[in-house]
Structure formats: C-alpha cells, structure tokens
Amino acid sequence: MAISMKKFMPKMRIEEVAARRQARIDQGTDVIVGVNKYQIEDETPLSVREVSEEVRDEQVARLVQIRKDRDNEAVQKALDDITRACESEDNLLAVCLPAVRARATIGEICDAMEKVFTRFVATTQCISGVYAQESADSEMIESLRKRTADFEKKTGRRPRILLSKMGQDGHDRRVKVIATAYADFGFDVDLGPMFQTPEEAARMAIENDVHIVGVSSLAAGHKTLVPKVIEELKNQGASDIKVVVGGIIPPGDYEFLKNAGAAEIFGPGTVVTDAANRTLNIIGA
Amino acid sequence: MIQTDPDSFVQGILDGNRRIIAKTITLIESHLKEHQQIAFTVMERILPHTGNSIRLGVTGVPGVGKSTFIENLGVFLADKGHKVAVLTVDPTSQRSGGSILGDKTRMEKLAAHENAFIRPSPAGGTLGGVAAKTREIMLTCEAAGFDVILVETVGVGQSETSVASMVDFFLVLMIAGAGDELQGIKKGILELADGIAINKADGDNLTAVEKTKGDLEIAMHLIRPESPTWSTPVLTCSSITEGGTKNIWETVLDHRKKFSASKEFKQRRKKQTLAWMWTLVEDGLKQRFKNNEKINEEIPVISQQVENEKISPTAAAEKLLSYL
C-alpha cells in the first residue's frame, strides 16, 4: 500500500470512480433524491451563516499581537531545535511541545521542518476518457464534441479553459472530474496548481491564453476570490477572459457573483454536459 | 479578441508584454490561414532579435519527473536573474480532440516567478507536427528577452527527434532500475542526447542509481560521439537533495563553452536552421499536394486503377506527382 500511495494510485482510482459516478448521476442511472430525482420545485432557501471578511482581519491582528508579546528568542531557539531534530531523526513531539508553549505558530513549526523534509507537492495527474466512456448519452457528448470542433474551425483553436483552485481550498476531486469531462468534450483544459492566489490564476490564464477561467470553490472563498480574479484579469489587461464559477455556491450568492462579473455559476446538482454547453455559449461557440 | 496589426505584436513582444507574447503564440498555433499569415509577418520582423538564448530540450518517459526537474532548474536559473521560458507539449486525445494541460501544477513556484514564462501547448492535430510551431514559439520568447528556453517533450514517439533538432543541448532524463536498463527509450534517442541525467537519485534509490549510471556509461561508450569535443556525460539529480540541478546546468554551460570555442555551436545552429527550412518545404509540399484540385479529382480514378491492378503503384504515384 505504501508503494502504491507513493505512486498516487489510490488517488487516481478515487478520481476515476468519481468521474464515472458523475456521468451516471448526470444521466440519472445513479439516483440521488433531491439532486437528480424528486427535486423540490420551490425549495425554501437555506439560511447560510456567512463568515465575514472581518474575521480574517481579526485573526491576522491576533497573530501580529502574539508575535509581539511572545519571547521571540525562545521561539527561534525552539524552532532551531525542531530543525535539528528533523536532521537527526529525533522524537519530533518532544521538540514541538516547547515550541508550542513558547507560542510558535503551526506555520513556523512547519517551516522549521520543511528545511529538512522539504515540501510535499502532490503531483496532479489526470485521467482522461473516463466520463465519456461511462456516459450512455453519446448523442449529447457527440453534440458537444461537434460544438468544440466547430469552434476550432471558426477560430483556429479549441475552446481553452483554465480550471483554478484558489485560496485555502484543498478539495480538488470535483475539479478533476470537470477537467476530465471537459477534455472528453473536446476542450483544451489547463489545470492550475492548488492554493493559487487570484494574481497567479490571472497570470496563468493570460500566459496560456485561455478563453475562460473556471473557478472551483468548495470552501466558501468564492465571495472574495471570484471578484479578485476578475479584477486581476482586468489589471493585467485581459478583461475579455470570462470567468465562470462552480462548486458549493449558496443560491443567495448568485446575484453577488453575477454583479461582480461572473458569467455563469454552476452550483451543486449541475449536470456536467449542461455546464459545458453553457460554457460554450459564453464564448459564442 | 485577436488583433490583426502585426506592428502591435512586434512591439509587444520586444517589450516583453506577457499578454502579447501569449497572443502571438496563439496565432502561431492557430489553424486559420489569416492567423498564420499575421504570425508569419511577425516572425519575419522579430527574427533579428532571436538566437540569443540557451536552448535546452528535456525528454524522458512519463513519470520520470520532467516537470519537477524543470521546476527546480527553472527556479534555480530565474533566481540567478535569468529569464526562463518553458514550452511543454501535452498529448491530445484522438477521439475527443481535447487535451488536459497539467504541467504547471508541477511547476508551481516557477509559474509564479517574475522571471518565468510557461506555455503548455496541446499536441493537437497541428499540421507539420509540434516541431515547427514549437520552434517559432521559441523564437518569439527569445525576441521577448528570454535567455533560457526549456522545451519539454514526452519521450515517446516522434516529437523528441524534432525537439533535438532545435535545441543547443538535448537532455534525456531517466530513472534507475525501472525494468530493463533503457526503459523503452530507444537507442536512437540516446544517440541524440548531449547529456543523460538519472533522476530521483536520493534515499534508498542511490545504489540503484549508481548501477544504472554504470550501465548507461557502458552503453554510451558503444555510441560513437558525433562531436570531437564532447562525449555525452551521465549525471544524476534529485528533486529532494540539492546539487544535481546545479551540476547539470554547469554541464550545459560547459558544453556551450566548448562548442563555441570549436565553432560547433554556430555550425549546429546553421544546420538546424537549414533542417527547419526542409521541414517546412516538406510540409508545404504535402499541403500543396492535398489542396491540389486536379490531384483530388484524379485520386479516386487512379486508386481504382491500382486496386484493379490496371497500373502499378509506382506508376500511379508518379502520375499523381506529375500534376504538382
């Protein structure tokens, strides 16, 4: 198992299963009550507790205060001990405790370890062909493939979309499903690294010269990150690149995002082929 | 929103404007005739500003760690103040025509680096293959002031031969002990290599790396070096331990120095330019053949005759070609 983990085999399998299941949900062969069967017509919107931007500022202020009040010399010593323990393979818990007591942050403790262990970067490998394979609705897929092929004939290249995960949001299984499905429909799909900043996402969109940026948001960052990426695109001279949003977006936020300039929003329960068609509408395909 | 004024493209490229460089690459890759014509004009105009970079090709079978290697080397160079452009080619699905371009997920730091520019391209159904396009994209980056160009190819199929014919240094990445000693990389590719690097030389892997290194050194002895001043070295590198990346870069610089001194550098570039011309001639001939009306009319007739054994394939081919 350890070897297969190293080779990311379980992760790939999970993603493959997710893409297949999505195809079955989209066709209604797998039933999820309320999502693709027995939907409620006039569902009363859930009230969502919103965490405001101020919370972040408060946290930052607290952190600044802690760093000011603590004995920074002691912190540094404790952190150096951690780095040394990593080098000599000593008990890490024993050296972490004094660091925590001296009020070192988790981030600082990680940095101290990173010096020796280096940073783990998950390689993003993406499966392809799975969604189309599982989907029995080949007519729909063929019509999407025709649309992307016609777009290429008309404009000289395939519709190109950057799928981006921004901010502290590590949930990338969904975005991989979208990537593999869109590629199956004939899109050129750029996959961004995790934890991108809006600046980085905008720059990548520009360098790769995509038509659309698809922001995948599953950790409630959309109200900050989507307007920021739209603004960044504008700042970097690319306001013609359209932005769409997908993921867990409460219906109450749709208007806010549209006003901020999002061209389409694909909330929970969106059928992927439908999302692809609407994405193509935006760029006039 | 593609503009059509070549002047603004030329100026934008020379100014190093990311947006314009990216748009120019889109034009180069476009299948539309009018886009290709603008690209052609732009290429002619920027040509005097090209050629001043170190062109490094990197190849290896999938999983060998090309992207991570390029990330490390790229950041190392960009930190030193080099302007680094990375061109990667991703496979396109024959069935859907779409591609997944995920290289930048493995080049996180480089992608965000001020001194870097990374452009992944879908292999697509580009006429004339990836090579001609990649070469023009490389020249565009040079004109924009990038002084190191890294070209990544998947080490299976045709693409590495064409990439080898457009770079100054062709690096083949390998890993130790994965099955047979040459891991499906054909001998022909080792002949093209200016350097071989065994990746993932760290931890428990070191003994296996040393063995592979020995095997490869013996294998390389059997290949007669093309150059009198250079024999292909076998190096090691790792994304975890430092040193290897720097060592490889020093080897590239050493190669450049020796090749410049022996005038082989200029000869090689001249040879490559000529080879490029012939590639374009071949592509053009194929294109003309395909678009020739008379030929298109005759193909069904002559095909029938060949099938019915009325005329020989040789005579038929001769006849079709005579219409050009």
CATH of the domain at B4: 1.20.5.170
pLDDT over threshold 60, residue A281: yes
**Cβ–Cβ pairs < 8 A, chains A and B:** 118
- Cα separation, B254 vs B290, in Å, equals 46
- Cα separation, B265 vs B40, in Å, equals 27
Chain B's closest residue to A235, CA to CA, is: B19
The domain in which residue B89 lies consists of 50-262
Q: What is the band of B156 on the pLDDT scale with cuts at 50, 70, 90?
A: low
Output B86 or B4, whichever has higher pLDDT.
Answer: B86
Question: In Å, what is the CA distance from B297 to each residue of B282, B294, B309?
Answer: 22, 5, 20
Last-in-domain residue among B24, B49, B74: B49
Tell me the whole-structure pTM to 2 decimals.
0.86
Output B249 or B31, whichever has higher pLDDT.
Answer: B249
pLDDT of amino acid A98: 96
For residues A233-241, give the mean pLDDT.
94
pLDDT over threshold 60, residue B181: no
ipTM: 0.85
CA geometry: angle B226, B229, B232, nearest 5 deg: 60
- Cα separation, B260 vs B253, in Å, equals 10
For residues B16-35, give the mean pLDDT.
93
Mutate to test the interface with B, among A6, A9, A87, A124 (most CBs of B within 10 A): A124
Average per-residue pLDDT in chain B? 87
> How many C-beta atoms lie closer than 10 Å to residue B194's C-beta?
24
- Cα separation, A205 vs B312, in Å, equals 55
Hey, what long-range contacts does A75-83 have (CB within 8 A, 24 or more apart)? A75/A99, A75/A102, A75/A103, A75/A104, A75/A108, A78/A102, A78/A104, A79/A104, A79/A108, A79/A109, A79/A111, A79/A112, A80/A112, A82/A109, A82/A112, A82/A113, A83/A112, A83/A113, A83/A115, A83/A116
List pLDDT tens digits, range B122-138.
887 554 456 668 899 99
Q: Are B151 and B211 within one domain?
A: yes
pLDDT over threshold 60, residue B179: no
pLDDT of amino acid A124: 65
Q: What is the band of A194 on the pLDDT scale with cuts at 50, 70, 90?
A: confident
Q: Are B176 and B238 within one domain?
A: yes
Q: Are B167 and B249 within one domain?
A: yes
pLDDT over threshold 60, residue A100: yes
For residues A150-174, give the mean pLDDT.
92
For A129, the closest of B19, B93, B118 (CB atoms) is B93
pLDDT of amino acid B287: 80
Output A194 or B177, whichever has higher pLDDT.
Answer: A194
pLDDT of amino acid B116: 97
Interface of B with A in 62-81 (CB under 8 A): 68
* Number of structural domains in chain B: 2
DSSP A37: B
Does residue B316 sit within a domain?
A: no
Domain residue extents for chain A: 57-117, 130-282
For residues B104-127, give the mean pLDDT.
84
Mutate to test the interface with A, among B15, B100, B107, B242 (most CBs of A within 10 A): B100
- Cα separation, A110 vs A118, in Å, equals 10
Tell me which residues of chain A have a C-beta less than 8 Å from any C-beta of chain B: 118, 121, 123-126, 128-129, 132, 145, 148-149, 152-153, 155-158, 179-180, 182-194, 200, 203-204, 206-209, 236-238, 240
Which region among A129-133, A154-158, A161-165, B267-271 has the lowest average model confidence (pLDDT)?
Answer: A129-133
pLDDT over threshold 80, residue B185: no
Q: Are B78 and B204 within one domain?
A: yes
pLDDT of amino acid B206: 85
pLDDT of amino acid B131: 62
Q: Are B57 and B41 within one domain?
A: no
pLDDT of amino acid B120: 92
Does residue B13 sit within a domain?
A: yes
Q: Are B192 and B247 within one domain?
A: yes
* Exposed e or buried b per residue across B9-19, where buried means at least 16 C-beta atoms within 10 angstroms of its C-beta: bbebbeeebbe
Residues of B in contact with A129 (CB under 8 A): 93, 95-96
Mutate to test the interface with B, among A9, A12, A86, A158 (most CBs of B within 10 A): A158
Does residue B306 sit within a domain?
A: no
Percentage, residues of chain A above pLDDT 70:
98
Q: What is the band of A52 on the pLDDT scale with cuts at 50, 70, 90?
A: confident
Residues of B in contact with A209 (CB under 8 A): 22-23, 25-26
B122 touches chain A (CB under 8 A): yes
Q: Inspect the interface and report whether the beta carbons of B102 and A124 lie closer than 8 Å.
A: yes
Percentage, residues of chain B above pLDDT 90:
52
Does residue B312 sit within a domain?
A: no
Quickly tell me which residue has 């000599």 as its tokens. A88
Q: Are B106 and B207 within one domain?
A: yes
CATH topology of domain A130-282: Rossmann fold (3.40.50)
Nearest-neighbour CA in chain B from A186: distance (Å):
4
pLDDT over threshold 90, residue A131: no
List pLDDT tens digits, range B61-71.
877 888 889 99
Last-in-domain residue among B245, B262, B279: B262
- Cα separation, A104 vs A70, in Å, equals 9
pLDDT over threshold 80, residue B140: yes
Which region among A76-90, A124-138, B2-16, B206-220 has the lowest average model confidence (pLDDT)?
Answer: A124-138
Does residue B12 sit within a domain?
A: yes
Average per-residue pLDDT in chain A? 91
Question: What CATH number does residue B129 fall under?
Answer: 3.40.50.300
Q: Are B88 and B103 within one domain?
A: yes
pLDDT of amino acid B1: 45
pLDDT of amino acid B321: 93
CA geometry: angle B19, B107, B51, nearest 5 deg: 55
Q: What is the band of B86 on the pLDDT scale with cuts at 50, 70, 90?
A: very high
Q: Are B210 and B73 within one domain?
A: yes
Q: Are B38 and B56 within one domain?
A: no
Does residue B301 sit within a domain?
A: no
B119 touches chain A (CB under 8 A): yes
Quickly tell me which residue has 């998950």 as its tokens. A122
pLDDT of amino acid B204: 80
Q: Are B233 and B122 within one domain?
A: yes
Q: Are B125 and B4 within one domain?
A: no
Does residue B322 sit within a domain?
A: no
pLDDT of amino acid A67: 95
Chain A's closest residue to B105, CA to CA, is: A193
pLDDT of amino acid B184: 53
pLDDT of amino acid B9: 95
List pLDDT tens digits, range B216-257.
888 888 777 778 889 899 999 987 777 789 999 999 999 999
